Structure 1
Amino acid sequence: MSDPNKMFVYPKDVDAFGFDWGRLALTVAPEVNGAARFSGGVVDLPPGQGHARHNHPGAEEIIFVISGHGEQMVEDDQGNPVTRKVGPGCTVFVPESRFHSTLNTGPGPMQLFVVYSPAGPELALRDLPDFRVIPAGN
């Protein structure tokens, strides 16, 4: 990496992926700062919103709850949904290719930090019908 400034990234300083259910600001990714083995960023979910059941074929995911409260579903080894209440400080591991979903059940915003390994599955989000780019600073 030639630019040390790209090692320190705030969500407000990058374009975000916007959706009807919230937003994802990638702060670590090949296209942001040259990360080669993983990508990640901050997800903001308004009250009552969440992302639908989906998976990332060939990738694992870590979800860390920064703030807010919600329900997290992750499939078990047999494909059965396992749902737990989650809040600040909870780390959720989503094994490779497992279906999962998140719902903000609290009265305020919910903020998550997500990591994908290997990098790339988040790029498929650009194909969703409600995808839009939110310019940095907005």
Structure 2
Amino acid sequence: MKTRRFFVKSEDVETLAFKWGSFKVTCSPEVNGASGFSAGIVEMQPDGGHDRHNHPGAEEIIYVLAGEGEQMVEDEDGNPVVSAVTAGCTIYVPESRYHYTVNTGKEPMRVFVVYSPAGSERELRKLPDCRIVPAGPAAR
């Protein structure tokens, strides 16, 4: 059995780099053997963010660590519900629900995301603009 990594720093994992920012998966089956969820840190540059998308079969929690932005989550009828979000705000995205996050501030926006079950983070690697940056201090 693979040794579990209980403590993972952001420089310990690779970075999924995109035009809009980056994602560091710090908890997943591949990183430390987590089985019910995956998690990590997303950083969006000013005016950057995720286009409208969903994670089929997965719920998501987004916690805003720093910055400010606009968050949309579709309600049960498919209507967009939009709100300004700042540090300290938790966003719940129900299973398979469409959503987007945009940084509306002048500084990078940092969020901590959790997917349940794990797997949505693997799909990001398949996006055409995804570039993998190896782990290390420079990957910050």
Question: Following the alignment from structure 2 to structure 1, what is the Cα–Cα distance between the partners of residues 123 and 3?
Answer: 27
> Aligned to 1:108, what secondary structure does the other structure show?
coil
Q: Which runs of 5+ in 2 are unaligned?
A: none
Q: Which residue of 2 aligns with 1:79?
A: 78
TM-score for the superposition, normalised by structure 2: 0.94
Question: Following the alignment from structure 2 to structure 1, what is the Cα–Cα distance between the partners of residues 93 and 119?
Answer: 15
Equivalenced residues, count: 137
Q: Which residue of 1 aligns with 2:20?
A: 21
Moved more, 121-130 or 83-92: 121-130
Q: Which residue of 2 aligns with 1:3?
A: 3
> Aligned to 1:44, what secondary structure does the other structure show?
strand
Q: Which amino acid is the alignment partner of residue 106 of structure 1?
A: G
Equivalent residues in 2 for 1:1-138, closer than 5 Å: 3=3, 6-137=5-136, 138=139
Same amino acid, percent of matched pairs: 58
Q: Deviation per CA, 1:50-74, whole angstroms, max 9, x where unpaired?
A: 0110000100000000000000000
Per-residue deviation, 1:2: 5.8
Q: Which amino acid is the alignment partner of residue 126 of structure 1?
A: R
Q: Which amino acid is the alignment partner of residue 89 of structure 1?
A: G
Moved over 4 A (4+): none
Q: Deviation per CA, 1:59-93, whole angstroms, max 9, x where unpaired?
A: 00000000000000000010011110000000000
> Aligned to 2:122, what secondary structure does the other structure show?
helix
Query: How well do the aligned residues superpose, as a CA RMSD in angstroms?
Result: 1.1
Question: Following the alignment from structure 2 to structure 1, what is the Cα–Cα distance between the partners of residues 42 and 77?
Answer: 28
